[in-house]
Structure 1
């Protein structure tokens, strides 16, 4: 796939603002076309992703977005803050106990736990087994934003179908209730439409935040002065999170496609051109303080969970550093997840001073 890459933040905003010229229709399209075998696996589960939120436009998109936004209001995010702090401290204390036996992986012990539980509480559904849920999420990201060969696609498609089957069951069980899925059903959305929305909302609402937390922990613990500062002050933790969002957000690119032949920053683009927007890492040292916010998109498709993700990451960082003031990185630099639109360290191993 050949992309017209847009790096300049002001031009990225222009693309996201020009909703009639640049469409989100390719936002959820697999980077590598799925093989017939992978498509058959998905078809057996009636896997379908009709455009409904991230890949949709027009009045229906705005209507659905307003309903989803009701579950992520500033007041709701503020109310769940104490719960985030509570779980963060619990997980940090568990990591502290684990240090008695040697290095601990903060990505596994801390980062992966909080966002799934918070997302489930906010949208009113039960969280499945955490390890299974994380495998579903990561496999789906790789299937749609990675470069799997045909053999790997079969494994990932089976996982995606399993996830979709669980999700459909949750959607059907939510009818008549006040969960997000129940509200969407009452508004007249079909089961396929709700599953399409839920499939990536559930992943984005927790996996990308876990990735952001892992990156933030990895970068902060690498510098003892930074680690001490974020332990001392929640404001310092928030500022550090925003610096990570500006420089290496977990969602570092996103896609658009031209609706018709158009011009962008002096370049003529034919209809159907694939656009890759760089959301972080291009702001420069002297960018205005809000530059980090582009990591969550801009305009009509800006991430509805932006404030939640920023708050979660800030509190997890602050509480973890408070509970683990003397830790330092352990072992070699970690391997990273590197997909078209997602990135994060796969591990964040730390050790206490006694194990140095």
Structure 2
């Protein structure tokens, strides 16, 4: 599938309508590879038993709701609230590491310290799952995003498929060792969800639950460093300033800026007449949402498929901004390196600067 064939829907009201009309617009294409995978890449995945049957983000109907309710319990307001101090402690430690690097070496990449550290550690805590080494998890996650939402040529597909197969193999072993445990994998299995479905859910949940939040934090820090008034307000302890700024980034350039849906039958959507089988691209974040006081919420989807970790991701971004600004309180003393376009992640549904480098 080529994304140029997708109808882009930018009007927030129409985006919400698509999410609401679940009988006409389904998520069957949400996780489909943008670029058709070569037979060689598919063989690499098949050798590892790689399979992504529909569940949660790519499913609908009663089973989707049943599984969603189970997963939602691991991201309840009480559980997210309980890790708030943990988030702050990790962010503060990582921000201090950046300050130490800046003092000792004259530079620090906030993407590799603060942004990379907070989400995976918190995700492992909430799910009750011991995650792999953070550097390896990041490679697997980033490669999977490119494989399914990028435009890799056939040679690059082979490299990405090897990485995705390794990720899947680790995940399958993690699921099998979770039998009888009270972590997410064990609870899903105890309720009758088959191993293949748990692996399918876990594959993208782990990516969405930590990598896309890392990317969000990178964008938040990158943009805030270019706004001295915002940075100084956050350094001074203004939680309101940090919260408003994160909402602005979510509304204008969230790390997950588009999502896909497929049309089940001939139907109308605003001025558009859509035939059965058509595929549409929903704009979840963009300049057109900046004036909407609730525009930031669309960055996490809407309705039955709204991201279960929305509150967590927003909290992590706010705290990361606050603690980094406090650790590096003088924006005038920081030389912020411009991230060239070649160092931005630009995929169909994901975007972020890959480096957030500051120099003294």
Question: Smaller-chain TM-score range?
Answer: over 0.9
Moved over 4 A (4+): none
Give the TM-score, by structure 1 length: 0.97
* Residue equivalent to 1:332: 338
Q: CA deviation at 1:222?
A: 1.1
The CA distance in 1 between the partners of 2:197 and 2:155, in whole Å, is 29
The CA distance in 2 between the partners of 1:331 and 1:268, in whole Å, is 46
Gaps of 5+ in 2: none
The CA distance in 1 between the partners of 2:50 and 2:162, in whole Å, is 11
The counterpart of 1:157, out of the listed 123, 137, 161, is: 161
Q: Does 1:292 align with 2:300?
A: no
The CA distance in 2 between the partners of 1:11 and 1:248, in whole Å, is 19
Q: Do the aligned partners of 2:248 and 2:290 also contact (CA within 8 Å) in 1?
A: no
Within 5 Å, give how 1:193-204 maps onto structure 2: 193-204=197-208
The counterpart of 2:320, out of the listed 316, 332, 349, is: 316
> The residue matched to 1:112 in structure 2 has which SS?
helix
Q: Does 1:177 align with 2:185?
A: no
The counterpart of 2:71, out of the listed 55, 68, 71, is: 68
Q: CA deviation at 1:331?
A: 3.0
Q: CA deviation at 1:283?
A: 3.3
> The residue matched to 1:222 in structure 2 has which SS?
coil
* Residue equivalent to 1:188: 192
The CA distance in 2 between the partners of 1:284 and 1:112, in whole Å, is 27
Per-residue CA deviation, residues 130-170 of structure 1 (Å, 9 max, x unaligned), is 11110000000000000000000000000000000000000
The counterpart of 1:108, out of the listed 92, 112, 130, is: 112
* Residue equivalent to 1:244: 249
Gaps of 5+ in 1: none
Q: CA deviation at 1:291?
A: 1.2
* Residue equivalent to 2:33: 30
Per-residue CA deviation, residues 299-327 of structure 1 (Å, 9 max, x unaligned), is 00000000000000000100110111124
Q: CA deviation at 1:285?
A: 4.5
Q: Does 1:345 align with 2:348?
A: no
The counterpart of 1:14, out of the listed 13, 17, 21, is: 17
Give the direction of change, closer, same or farther, for the CA distance of 1:278–1:165 in structure 2 (3 Å limit).
Answer: same
Q: Does 1:278 align with 2:283?
A: yes
The CA distance in 2 between the partners of 1:311 and 1:137, in whole Å, is 21
The CA distance in 2 between the partners of 1:140 and 1:167, in whole Å, is 13
Give the direction of change, closer, same or farther, for the CA distance of 1:172–1:268 in structure 2 (3 Å limit).
Answer: same
Q: CA deviation at 1:282?
A: 4.3
The CA distance in 1 between the partners of 2:290 and 2:127, in whole Å, is 37
Q: Does 1:127 align with 2:135?
A: no
> The residue matched to 1:251 in structure 2 has which SS?
coil
> The residue matched to 1:72 in structure 2 has which SS?
coil
Q: Do the aligned partners of 1:103 and 1:330 also contact (CA within 8 Å) in 2?
A: no
Q: Does 1:221 align with 2:225?
A: yes
Per-residue CA deviation, residues 180-222 of structure 1 (Å, 9 max, x unaligned), is 0000000101110000000000000000000000000000011
Aligned-residue RMSD, C-alpha:
0.9
